Structures are given as C-alpha cells and as structure tokens.
Amino acid sequence: MPPQGGFFYGKTMPDTVTATPTDQALTEKDIIIRALEDRVLKLETLVSALGDNQSDLRAEMRSEIASLRNQINDLKEDLEAGIKALGSKVDRVIGGKAVVTALVTLATSILGSGVVHLVVSIGK
C-alpha cells in the first residue's frame, strides 16, 4: 500500500495542512465569513448548472445567495468597526507614551541644566 501524502525530504507529508500563525489569529467572525463565502460559491455553482425549467429553484437559490452576501457584509462591517476601535486605542496608548517620553526628556533637560549651573557656580 503506498504511503499517504507526498514526500518531503524523505519523509511523508501529512495529508492535513498545519495552521500558520495568521490562521491562528482568526476570530470566530473570520471563520463564519469564510464558511458563508464557501456556501455562496457552492450555491452559485449550483445555480449556473440549473436548467431553464427550474426557474423557481434558481430564484430561491439566488435569494439565498443575496441573503448570505448580506450576512457576509454585516460581519465584515462588524470586524472593520472592531479593528478601527482597536486602532484608536493603540493610537491613544502610543500618544500617551509619547507625552510621557517628552515629559521625561524635559525633566532630564531641566535637571541637567540645573546641575551644570550649580557646578559652574561652585567652581567660581
């Protein structure tokens, strides 16, 4: 019996694809969107194969496709809104970090100038 999968450097390759780091970052909505897109593709393939005498079934399937596309668009909008909210939070954190860095730099500058002035005054 031949081995399952292909060969890779003398070892058999598994039949399943391992998850990449980007696949692990998928949210539940991403998975639902992919499943809905797969369903739409299958339905579109079936609709294209229907004959003229099955117009009722074709109309029903096109209605289902439209409904699925609406669901996909709604989920994508939800994801985009979440990404925008996350981006604004990150921007606020980075902005806050920049303000703290500026204040530390200013304080260091003032203290450094004061120390230099004190040393010069004592030296005279």
pLDDT digits (tens, 9 = 90+) for 95-123: 989 889 999 998 888 888 877 777 778 87
Q: Residue range 1-23: average pLDDT? A: 49
pLDDT band at residue 1 under the 50/70/90 scheme: very low
pLDDT digits (tens, 9 = 90+) for 29-85: 888 889 989 999 998 888 888 877 888 888 888 899 999 999 999 988 988 888 888
Residue with tokens 């990150």: 90
Q: Which residues contact 5 (CB under 8 A, 6 or more apart)?
A: 12, 13, 14, 15
The 3 state secondary structure assigned to 54-72 is: HHHHHHHHHHHHHHHHHHH
Alpha-carbon distance of 29 to 38, in angstroms, equals 14
Q: Which pLDDT does position 11 carry in this prediction?
A: 54
Beta strands in 9-119 (DSSP E): 11-12
What predicted TM-score, i.e. pTM, was given to this entire model? 0.53
Taken as a whole, the chain contains a residue count of 124
**Which H or E run includes 8?**
strand 7-8
Q: Which pLDDT does position 56 carry in this prediction?
A: 85
